[in-house]
Amino acid sequence: MTLEAVLVVASALFAVGLYGALSQQVVVMVMMGLELMINGILLAAGGFWWFLAPDPSGQVLLLVILAAMTVEMAMGFAVATLLHRRRQTDMTDMAQELSR
């Protein structure tokens, strides 16, 4: 287990998540892609921390990443619920007025 190994695995997770976030049509599946990307970032941060500078203040970054993940989930679910309530849909393609 080296820093390089951890980072390669983390970038693989990030890349898989990116594929999901870009290609999926259903809002909840897009969120799963985002989660997977943050999963990779979390692993990379853990690796950097352990292999480069293992002092406790660095771990706070991981806590912030976890917090960002929960905020993303909560807001994502809220918007998905709103979208469903207003449009009876769960597809990103049908919520495009921001792109016009």
Partner 1 sequence: MLIGIAFWVLAVIAVATGLAVFVVNSMARATYALAVSFIAVGGQILLLQQNYLGLITILMMVMEMAVMAVYMVMFMGMNPALMPMDMTHGKKTAIGASVGAFVVLAGGALLVPWPDRRGGPPDDLTHALGLEIMDGKMLVMAVVGAVMVATIVAGVVLAAGRTRYDRFGDDLRQRGSNGASLGGAQK
Considering only residues 31 to 60 of the shown chain, the ones binding partner 1 according to CB under 8 A are 31-33, 35-36, 39, 42-43, 46-47, 49-57, 59-60
Quick check: 96 binds partner 1 (CB under 8 A)? no
Q: How many residues bind partner 1 (CB under 8 A)?
A: 71
Site string for partner 1, 68-87 (x = CB under 8 A): -xxx-xxx-xxxxxx-xx--
Query: From CA 68, how far away is CA 23, in angstroms rounded?
Result: 23
**Which residues touch 25 (CB under 8 Å, ≥6 apart)?**
91, 92, 93
- φ, ψ dihedrals at 24, nearest 5°: -75, 150
